[in-house]
Amino acid sequence: MAQRKPRAEMPKQTVEKRVHNFDEVALGFDEELALKEADRCLNCPKPQCIKGCPVEVSIPEFIKLVKEHKYEDAAKKIKEKNALPAVCGRVCPQEEQCQKFCVLGVRGDPVGIGRLERYASDWERLNTKLDTPKIEQTGGKVAVVGSGPSGLTVAADLAKLGHRVTVLESLHTSGGVLMYGIPQFRLPKEIVQAEVEYVRSLGVEFRLDSTVGLLATIQELMNGGYDAVFIGSGAGLPNFLRVPGENLKGIYSANEFLIRTNLMKAYKFPEYDTPIRVGKKVGVIGAGNVAMDSARCALRLGAERVYIIYRRSRDEMPARAEEVENAEEEGIEFMLLTNPIRFIGNDRGFLEKVECIKQRLSEPDESGRRRPEPIEGSNFTTEIDTAVIAIGQSPNPIIQQTTHGLETTRHGTIVVNEETMQTTLPGVYAGGDVVSGAATVISAMGAGKMAAKAIHDYIIAKKNNPT
Ligand code: FAD
């Protein structure tokens, strides 16, 4: 029968302290906590947890190594499958993935797999040096567009298989959303950069400030000597509510708000000369990770009251459970079953209020979530001077518009063969948010893994049968 020792809790900064800084909230296990948690793993003969991991990390094996105090080996075991373990240990929605299948979860708390993954990878980063492995080269050349989790995974896997990989990234830094979206207090940027360095240590070349579709098209890359191209350009185009008043001053897309706060370092003003204006009462529309991050940034930037305004109920909120809990602890207020229908400004064009209508839930829609319906006559207004729209993102269309023959859906995502991630063009593969629409780090990495395998097979077949 499954043992029922309680799960080791994650030490965190106190609420009083953390709402005034951008330092990491979750402090990570020390050795004692890591060993205590690892000890809860039953090392099941037929582990179910691996089924829940899109990149199939050998979970019981790495936890066994932690139990044996072999932390570096544990990190290496994870890295056999996952190039970004310190990132995944921090931001993966484990409760919906590996931990959901943990047998201990039937009667109590599942093993804190993500927390152990974080412990092992942090231990390795802090206590060892990156070594440059010797890899036999195949002569294959691959261009990877975008350096988010999907691009980094493809790049790492193909480099390990002996191909020369060049990552083309439009921003001045690598890491995709991990760098420009997720705030420092959830995912410190030095952690992301350490994992990028690991990918670089495998021989991957990074070319920054290089926007594919503007500098060179996919076709030009294919004609320019690359055997294959992977498109991992993400979903960086914000969606809007399309309600009256959405252009008032004081209303941001979550993309703009988070990029200015994190990547442009508004949170370090005046050290960085790039401030952002945040008022006293902030309404964040949406309830995913992006919304929670925006709300918690607004609080740290000095807002007195921050509301999450969401048209469904708590059960349907897409954000990671842990982050909803953190947001609540910090005093973020949740206005659920509430839909904004109009923003109201003053005569100078600045936002003053939002008009909302209460919702009730009816039958599930195509997403499986219960559909919200307005309750007639339930309109009310709330005073806010800043709004952040966090209701989802779509792919940026540059590549789709400049690549003849690349089939896309009506949502602007790229159509692929789901087993190989090949697009409608030979030698051109795609994965991550640009295919699935905005999703998760680990699903983007899972897609990258599949693509890397298919690209490898494609290049080897091409080299064996040159036409
Ligand atoms: P991205 O990470 O978007 O990377 C794409 C990269 O491609 C970017 O660097 C972009 O600059 C570059 N690019 C785009 N177009 C071009 C071009 N034409 N040429 C060259 N480069 C280009 N997921 C979780 O699992 N857990 C979380 O807690 C979580 N929190 C999130 C919080 C926020 C604020 C956001 C925005 C997302 C969050 N997600 C989270 C989702 C997750 O980050 C994404 O699903 C994931 O990053 C997608 O990876 P990707 O590789 O497809 O794309």
* Average pLDDT across the chain, whole number: 95
pLDDT score of 192 = 97
169 lines ligand 1 (CB under 6 A): yes
Q: Give the position, in ligand 1's atom list, of the atom nearest the Cα of 171.
A: 11
Q: What is the pLDDT of residues 410-421, one digit of tens each?
A: 999 999 999 999
Residue 292 has pLDDT above 70, yes or no: yes
Asked whether the beta carbons of 439 and 417 are under 8 A apart, the reply is no
Of the candidates 233, 194, 207, which has an alpha carbon nearest to the alpha carbon of residue 84?
194
Q: What is the mean pLDDT of residues 331-337?
A: 98
Q: What is the mean pLDDT of residues 397-417?
A: 96
pLDDT score of 4 = 65
User: pLDDT class for 465, splitting at 50, 70, 90?
Assistant: confident
State the distance from the centre of ligand 1 to the C-alpha of 192, rounded, in angstroms.
13
Q: Of the residues 152, 177, 403, which should be mutated to test ligand 1's pocket, given the most ligand atoms within 8 Å of the CB?
A: 177
Q: What is the pLDDT of residues 382-394, one digit of tens each?
A: 999 999 999 999 9
Residue 1 has pLDDT above 80, yes or no: no
Residue 399 has pLDDT above 90, yes or no: yes
Q: Of the residues 94, 167, 289, 294, which should be mutated to test ligand 1's pocket, given the most ligand atoms within 8 Å of the CB?
A: 289
- Name which of 156-170, 219-233, 276-290, 362-376 the model is least confident about: 362-376
Residue 153 has pLDDT above 70, yes or no: yes
pTM higher than the cut 0.85:
yes
414 lines ligand 1 (CB under 6 A): no
